[in-house]
Structure 1
Amino acid sequence: MRMLVAGAIVVSSLGGGPAAAEADPACAGGMLNAVTDAGAKGDGQSDDTASVQNAITTAYASGRCVYLPRGVYRITGGLDWSRPASIVGDPGAPAILRSPANAALADTVYANRWDRTPVLDNVVFDGLRVDVNGPYKSGPVIRRSVFVNRLGEGETPAGGDQQTTTPAQVAVALTNVRGAQVLDSVFLSDRRVDGGAPLFTYRTQDLTVSGNILGADLSSLSWLSAWAGRGSWSQDPAARLTEVRARTGLPAALGHLQRGISLKLDVNATVSGNVVNRDPRSQAKSDHAVYAWGFSGLRVTGNWTRGWPQDARGGLKVRNGTGATIAGNLLNGTAVLLYTYDVTNAPKVFQDVVVCGNVYDIRGHTPAADHSGIMYWRNFPGTGAELAIAVFGNRFLDPRAGAAGRPDISQVAGDAAAFTASGNTYADGRAVPVSGMREAAPTAAQRARCAGATVPALSIPGYQG
């Protein structure tokens, strides 16, 4: 499912600032130009922190949006977003908020109540993070924006194991927020040791993450002509990303990812149509392309993934919860990992889960002895944890299908009666081996959850830069 905010922001990139973007409800009150109205320089050298903060505060009070003309705005400290004015960038060229210290545009006051639904549109966040926390904040939209994650000045890469993540690694953090949308944006990471973790969510409701690119090689962007998100951009995305690279001094290969999308205890989250493209050459630690735990009403559909390890650090991982649909994803050497752990911070169940219509492409990859294909495992004994799990209609592209040790479909330590499998095939039509599951067709309701889920047809070159 794809959600879009009605209307489009229409602004001018001329020096005098844009006219009111009356087509978009968020900017119906007009625009406040951060340069001409608030004194920002946008020259990449001046400290624009106070001017941009003044623009946010003043625009909020007057019911306007902040408009950022083309430029590089140097931000040396945090920006307070507790008065959440929308911020929109030049539609024809990059407006870059550059934070050398990885500061944040933030409202983390749990009890603060928003009285409007802000938009971040057409903005480049270079080191500047977005951090929002609180159940009284609803409907923020991030769209058509670029996030660059790299080590801040004087920062030491995060230590710890592959699962350890620090705030500096996260581009967008949404906690307890309702109805947030992250759409058609690009997330780039040059964190070569600890890796970027572009999107982190916790206890959100009705979240939509759709049409985004996580990881890219800026020296090879012609494939963006086939990217669905391209149609919403006001500037050709390849041209914008090329200019961003020139203005920021970034290298080409920006797929140093620890995690792609991290979802924790979210209710009714939709993750659809995203490209999660890790550089397989990266030495950064790795902990899953998509990682959802404590789920309720989760949909992961139509995503394209590549570059993640064929072991316990990789894969599309879903664990502990009720109600998940994993459908129509292209898993290029990336397994589907289904788990239930004996923990106290998430429900000890795995129920009402459908895994269907995915394509698992192992061509050109050497599979691991385990953690490949589609697998389920739990780490505690007993019964009653699993219920109504169906794995059907998935296709494995494997030139050595049937050979010993090749990927298959399996479950270990769970209740076999709770799992059904059918119609999972190799490219030549032969059935994929299944262990620990009953052979049975899905119910009509389970089939309906796969309807409309389409595997993305993208041809993305490997990392070269």
Structure 2
Amino acid sequence: MYASEFGIVANSKVDQSDKIEEALRVSAEKGQELVFEDGVYLISRDIIITDDTNMRAENIGGAVFKSPEDDLPVKVTNGGWSGERIDEAKISGFIFDNVTVSFNGKVDNIEVSQNAFVNATPNAKDVEWNGQGKKSVSDTLHFYGANGTFKVEDNVFLANKTDEDGPAGIAAIKTYDTEDTQITGNLIGGINKATLDRPEYSDEIKALLSAVQAHDASVDVNDSGYLQTGIKAVQDDRLQIDGNWISANTSEEYHRDHAIYMHNFRDGEITDNYVAGWPDNAGGGVKLRNGSGLEVTDNTLDGVSFLTYIHGGKNRDQFFNDITIADNVIKSAYKPIQFWASDTGAEVENFVISSNKILKTGSGGSDIQLITDQSAGQKFDSSDILVYGNEKFDGKPVSISTPNGPNYTVPDSDPVVDRVDPAPAEPKPTPTPEPVTEEAKPEPAPTPAPVEEVSEDITLSIVDTNSNISVGKLEGGTEISLAQIEAGFSIEALVDDPTVGSVTFSIDGGPPKVENHLPYALFGDSKKLLNPGEIAEGKHVMTVKAFTGEKGTGTLVAETEYSFEVVADKDAVQPDDGSDALEFSFFDAKTDVESKKLVDNMKIDADDLSEATTIAARGQSDDNDIAYVVLTLEGHTVTERIEPYALFGDGNGGTDLLGGRSFDAGSYELEYAVYGDKNTLIEEGSVNFDII
């Protein structure tokens, strides 16, 4: 459907707001895409969109939504918590001129891609800022996403200087309390201070920049980083910030709140981003505060630094656990990497700073600075932070300082240092073997035996993380397929000793990963469901140790060491689905999209299922003799004669699943009976599963 079909007129001086909103409602109800032809569409109020909205510019950057330039921006929005529920929406290809996009409340699966945001008027306010006097601060956001799952990809966010006196800048992206959100491939500000090698813009970004210049020549795409914040993320779970260009103008007139500011996070990654042009001080750079499970790798920080903080007090997450900052390139005159712990109650565990390349351009100070408030009574010690393998641009070792005294023991650059063993007076060999270094690692034979004696108290289980079911044991000479790892993989240590307080995992002599609670899993867990992770193709040695105390302290009670190999030419092992005749899956009955395979005895996160979930089955082979299937769950029984055999039935020849329900936490049993011709019973049984 095209916008012109609804009487919407481009390049008119007449407000098109009412017609646009009505056209979006009708097209969404019909499940059709609404395409906007090239031109400028004047709007003067918020545009409220509904579920299943799919709006697209006919050509990238060809359609422009514009509100009056002297007014505060209007929004394309769901209307916040008072709006209707949106389970899916797409916005693609527009230039938003003094128009922002905002989703908050009952929303999910929102995709905003290949758009350009320009000329947003800051809503500036003078406020007292952290004892620094009055600061001009703005709450204008190009994009805001809260309480759902979002994909923000290949967009351009620009902010030109709007006042010679230096008003507040605007924020490009803010997220709050989202899950599995992806912020990827966006250009935030114009790269005007690049001094290091930076990746080339994508074709989508180049097309948008050209379209912006064609629309408004006053927008300087090379000097459009008058931003207050690049990306601000608060209380997000599993957020990905990957492959973005994030720049700003270094003007000190503007209040800054960081290129990336991420706090109270649970799992996620910041990878392959290029950050430049921000003030090289405490207001610029990449700031990480309070959270767990974050990988920060392969980024380039050009003239800015990493600022990592842990606070107690009222923060949701009063810890800084399982954080890795590795393989980044950092050029800064300030403090290339700084860690600061303050406030009573702050907890740190398994914080790793490794293999970063650092150029400190300013005089004085160290490359890595670790600061703790000695009066705060921190809940961590030197075993909780590892710093190794970092070097300067010229290959020399980095300098590391701990200004408040010996609160940390910084290991040597050699990752063989075993931070979890009780520290002896001198680093002498212990009766148990040290982790095998890359240089000393033996080449295992074609069918190698375990490298060392194996304790019967530890069993290593290979787990399919999609179902949380074991698909085999890790033993000497075990081969694990890359397909298994890519499908969702972890290793769980099963320890037959009630005194165990923690378990450590180390691969190829690398830094140990510490697990302080069940399940003891190589990549950790979320709500007792194992997180997936990766191991590179090739031969490896894994060492697993069990201790009586937390954080790898106390008495070593068990140890296992195995050699194994990750291979490419091998199929993944699938969990037993519990039936020879049928294969089962969870589906979202509203979208008919498969959510997850269902196999016997699996565990699944309730958040992975929609409020309209159904279960459907198909025959295991094309040449089956199934006449009908009877399914029963919690007293609800259905007889289905056509694939898919759906728990709540289906229409349109099986293409439209019906019904659906929500699943609360608990244990469930799906009973099934498969019949052939003349009511012959082919198979009957049940599939059990737990919702966590």
> What is residue 66 of structure 2 aligned with on the other side?
98
Residue 358 of structure 2 aligns to a residue whose secondary structure is strand
**TM-score normalised per structure 1:** 0.78
Whether contact under 8 Å (1:69, 1:95) holds in the other structure is yes
Within-5 A mapping of 1:8-407: 32-34=1-3, 36-43=4-11, 45-91=13-59, 94-100=62-68, 101=71, 102-110=73-81, 114=85, 116-134=87-105, 136-151=106-121, 157-161=124-128, 169-178=140-149, 180-190=150-160, 192-216=166-190, 226-227=200-201, 229-230=202-203, 232=204, 236-246=207-217, 249-252=218-221, 253-281=223-251, 283-362=253-332, 367-368=333-334, 372-381=335-344, 385-398=347-360, 404-407=364-367
Shift of 1:298: 2.1
Measure, in 2, the Cα distance between the counterparts of 1:329 and 1:120: 28
Shift of 1:237: 3.6
Shift of 1:274: 0.5
Shift of 1:97: 0.4
Shift of 1:398: 3.9
CA-to-partner distance for each residue in 1:298-331, whole Å, 9 max, x for gaps?
Answer: 2111111012222221120011111111111101
Measure, in 1, the Cα distance between the counterparts of 2:299 and 2:189: 17
Measure, in 2, the Cα distance between the counterparts of 1:217 and 1:376: 27
Residue 349 of structure 2 aligns to which amino acid in structure 1? L
Measure, in 1, the Cα distance between the counterparts of 2:37 and 2:198: 25
Decide whether aligned partners of structure 1 residues 159 and 57 sit closer, same or farther in structure 2, where only a CA change above 3 A counts.
same
Larger Rg: 2
Shift of 1:399: 5.7
Residue 175 of structure 2 aligns to which amino acid in structure 1? T
Shift of 1:137: 2.1
Q: 1:433 aligns with which of 358, 383, 399?
A: 399
Measure, in 1, the Cα distance between the counterparts of 2:534 and 2:243: 15
Decide whether aligned partners of structure 1 residues 351 and 404 sit closer, same or farther in structure 2, where only a CA change above 3 A counts.
same
Q: 1:412 aligns with which of 358, 372, 379?
A: 372
Whether contact under 8 Å (1:357, 1:450) holds in the other structure is no
Percent sequence identity over matched residues? 21
CA-to-partner distance for each residue in 1:140-195, whole Å, 9 max, x for gaps?
Answer: 1111110114227xxx62322568897851011111012x1000110011355111
Shift of 1:361: 1.5
**How large is the RMSD of aligned CA atoms in angstroms?**
3.0
Decide whether aligned partners of structure 1 residues 213 and 174 sit closer, same or farther in structure 2, where only a CA change above 3 A counts.
same
Measure, in 1, the Cα distance between the counterparts of 2:100 and 2:136: 14
Which range moved further: 252-261 or 184-193? 184-193
Residue 201 of structure 1 aligns to which amino acid in structure 2? T
Measure, in 1, the Cα distance between the counterparts of 2:252 and 2:120: 14
Whether contact under 8 Å (1:397, 1:427) holds in the other structure is yes
Shift of 1:225: 9.2
Measure, in 1, the Cα distance between the counterparts of 2:141 and 2:274: 21
Measure, in 2, the Cα distance between the counterparts of 1:423 and 1:47: 60
Whether contact under 8 Å (2:143, 2:172) holds in the other structure is yes
Measure, in 1, the Cα distance between the counterparts of 2:53 and 2:155: 20
Whether contact under 8 Å (2:29, 2:52) holds in the other structure is no
Decide whether aligned partners of structure 1 residues 284 and 167 sit closer, same or farther in structure 2, where only a CA change above 3 A counts.
closer
Measure, in 2, the Cα distance between the counterparts of 1:146 and 1:225: 20
Measure, in 2, the Cα distance between the counterparts of 1:162 and 1:70: 44
Which range moved further: 143-152 or 282-291? 143-152
**TM-score normalised per structure 2:** 0.53
Which structure dedicates a bigger proportion of its chain to strand?
Answer: 2
Shift of 1:262: 0.4
Measure, in 2, the Cα distance between the counterparts of 1:226 and 1:161: 40
Residue 126 of structure 2 aligns to a residue whose secondary structure is coil
CA-to-partner distance for each residue in 1:209-266, whole Å, 9 max, x for gaps?
Answer: 0000000279x9xx99921x32x57x834422321323xx434531101000000000
Shift of 1:387: 0.5
Decide whether aligned partners of structure 1 residues 131 and 224 sit closer, same or farther in structure 2, where only a CA change above 3 A counts.
same
Whether contact under 8 Å (2:109, 2:151) holds in the other structure is yes
Measure, in 2, the Cα distance between the counterparts of 1:162 and 1:387: 31
CA-to-partner distance for each residue in 1:6-25, whole Å, 9 max, x for gaps?
Answer: xxxxxxxxxxxxxxxxxxxx
Whether contact under 8 Å (2:313, 2:343) holds in the other structure is no
How many residues were matched structurally?
397
Shift of 1:114: 4.2
Shift of 1:63: 1.4
Measure, in 1, the Cα distance between the counterparts of 2:247 and 2:141: 16
Decide whether aligned partners of structure 1 residues 282 and 72 sit closer, same or farther in structure 2, where only a CA change above 3 A counts.
farther
Measure, in 1, the Cα distance between the counterparts of 2:534 and 2:355: 9
Decide whether aligned partners of structure 1 residues 399 and 309 sit closer, same or farther in structure 2, where only a CA change above 3 A counts.
closer
Larger RCO, structure (CA 8 Å, separation 6 or more) = 1
CA-to-partner distance for each residue in 1:37-76, whole Å, 9 max, x for gaps?
Answer: 1212221522111121121111112211221111111110
Shift of 1:112: 5.5
Q: 2:511 aligns with which of 443, 457, 462?
A: 443
Segments of structure 1 that go 5 or more residues without pairing to the other structure are 1-31, 453-465
